[in-house]
Copies of this chain bind each other. A is one copy, B any other.
């Protein structure tokens, strides 16, 4: 009966996408560690470790810091449906697919949602937020720190300032930035911040770390109605991840094992060293792509996300053919564009375990071969040469150099 469906034999891919990233062997080992029960006293004590590690990575003292049992999009839902209820007004800054997702989810609550849009490839102007919010009782200002779909980073301090003026919570999607790009939840006074495990943390997908400060806890306690999602209700989930460890739902034990190990790796490397590694490898990538004659999707270099680099698909070249050949010939996966920019951009992710100088060199060499095959002229070796030059000072940082 099941004869047709054989052994699991996936190809050995190098994932240079905006997630999932490649995963350190130590994390796979943790992932495959035989399970214990989610109410086992050993497990409920081990949950403390995960919370301590997450607080260090988020740079926060927030009590309510834990991994949600869902993908990063589940993180968005939790961040949105918990604070918002009938009578509230929310501002969502939209400059791509994932920040728009935040608005779409907010619009499924009873709150009134104001969309503030920027063209894809640019940050949202904080002045627009100020203008729209003026005179309104805004409870929530939401945005993506790094917009994965376009490769744009936004300067959180500017939005924090406006949110302060409006008296609003600042809600930040750090799915593409946490552990890859400087972020300091407490110093930057982010009220709700969430991420995904499968990006710069480089754990397998399926958990979404979130942290919520005391001010937000107060807001949650003051809700007049029940949170519309039972699964993502922080007011009850926090009893399981809080001191009480009261059963809520069965968490993905194996993924939490893996997340714990991935967080240990982040802290063994050190957050600053990790940010620097991401910056360094991305600069080499950018130098290589530029030397190959490719055009960046984000016009202003200061707006470019370190973890995801978007380049335009050159005229006359077919997006899918290039990506397919990279996969088939080199087992390298990069991503395309979503929605309105589908077919127009490629996105190269260098996050966590995937952010290695070795990968940059291999990718540029393979990409050159594929682009030549597909009819785009690249001068031989230009990308790799430029990446090597860009990496000369300071020295490149090899992964695995752990103390």
On A, residues with C-beta under 8 Å from B are: 1-2, 4-5, 8, 10-13, 15, 17, 19-20, 22-23, 28-43, 46, 49, 52-53, 56, 69-74, 76-77, 81, 101, 104-105, 107-108, 196, 198, 204-206, 226-232, 247-255, 257-258, 260-261, 264, 267-268, 270, 324, 327, 333, 335, 338
Chain B residue nearest to A110 (CB atoms) is B228
> If A23-B35, A40-B13 touch, does A70 touch B104 (CB 8 Å cutoff)?
no
Cβ contacts under 8 Å, A70 to chain B: 69-70, 74, 231
Chain B residue nearest to A205 (CB atoms) is B250
Cβ contacts under 8 Å, A196 to chain B: 250
- The reply to whether B267 and A2 form a contact with Cβ atoms under 8 Å apart is yes
- The reply to whether A42 and B10 form a contact with Cβ atoms under 8 Å apart is yes
- Bound state CA distance, A31 and B41, in angstroms? 24
Cβ contacts under 8 Å, A53 to chain B: 2, 5
- Bound state CA distance, A66 and B136, in angstroms? 44
- Bound state CA distance, A366 and B258, in angstroms? 32
- Bound state CA distance, A228 and B230, in angstroms? 11
- The reply to whether A206 and B255 form a contact with Cβ atoms under 8 Å apart is yes
Cβ contacts under 8 Å, A2 to chain B: 53, 56, 264, 267-268
- The reply to whether A108 and B228 form a contact with Cβ atoms under 8 Å apart is yes
- Bound state CA distance, A17 and B56, in angstroms? 34
Cβ contacts under 8 Å, A229 to chain B: 77, 81, 108, 228-229, 231-232
Q: 5 closest A-B pairs (Cβ-Cβ)?
A: A206-B252, A32-B32, A2-B267, A73-B249, A204-B254
Among B43, B105, B206, point to the contact of A206 (Cβ < 8 A). Answer: B206
- The reply to whether A327 and B40 form a contact with Cβ atoms under 8 Å apart is yes
Cβ contacts under 8 Å, A39 to chain B: 17, 335
Among B11, B46, B76, B107, point to the contact of A10 (Cβ < 8 A). Answer: B46
- The reply to whether A252 and B36 form a contact with Cβ atoms under 8 Å apart is no
> If A230-B77, A255-B255 touch, does A17 touch B37 (CB 8 Å cutoff)?
yes
- The reply to whether B31 and A10 form a contact with Cβ atoms under 8 Å apart is no
- The reply to whether B20 and A198 form a contact with Cβ atoms under 8 Å apart is no
Known: A206-B253, A231-B231. 7 other contacts (CB 8 A): A2-B53, A10-B33, A10-B43, A17-B37, A20-B38, A77-B231, A205-B253
Expressed in whole angstroms, the minimum distance between the Cβ of A307 and any Cβ of chain B is 15
Cβ contacts under 8 Å, A254 to chain B: 31, 204-206, 254-255, 258
Give 12 CB contacts A-B under 8 Å. Answer: A2-B53, A2-B267, A11-B36, A17-B37, A20-B250, A22-B34, A37-B335, A40-B333, A70-B70, A108-B228, A108-B229, A206-B206
- Bound state CA distance, A232 and B35, in angstroms? 26
- The reply to whether B15 and A36 form a contact with Cβ atoms under 8 Å apart is yes
Cβ contacts under 8 Å, A101 to chain B: 230
- The reply to whether B8 and A257 form a contact with Cβ atoms under 8 Å apart is yes
- The reply to whether B249 and A252 form a contact with Cβ atoms under 8 Å apart is no
- The reply to whether A108 and B20 form a contact with Cβ atoms under 8 Å apart is no
- The reply to whether A261 and B8 form a contact with Cβ atoms under 8 Å apart is yes
Expressed in whole angstroms, the minimum distance between the Cβ of A174 and any Cβ of chain B is 15
Cβ contacts under 8 Å, A15 to chain B: 35-37
> If A32-B29, A260-B8, A333-B37 touch, does A250 touch B71 (CB 8 Å cutoff)?
yes
- The reply to whether B32 and A73 form a contact with Cβ atoms under 8 Å apart is no
- The reply to whether A49 and B250 form a contact with Cβ atoms under 8 Å apart is no
Cβ contacts under 8 Å, A249 to chain B: 71-74
Which residue among A204, A254, A333 has the maximum number of chain B CB atoms within 10 Å of its CB? Answer: A254
Chain B residue nearest to A35 (CB atoms) is B20
> If A70-B74, A206-B252 touch, does A23 touch B34 (CB 8 Å cutoff)?
yes
- Bound state CA distance, A159 and B379, in angstroms? 71
Expressed in whole angstroms, the minimum distance between the Cβ of A326 and any Cβ of chain B is 11
> If A5-B53, A34-B10, A264-B5 touch, does A250 touch B198 (CB 8 Å cutoff)?
yes
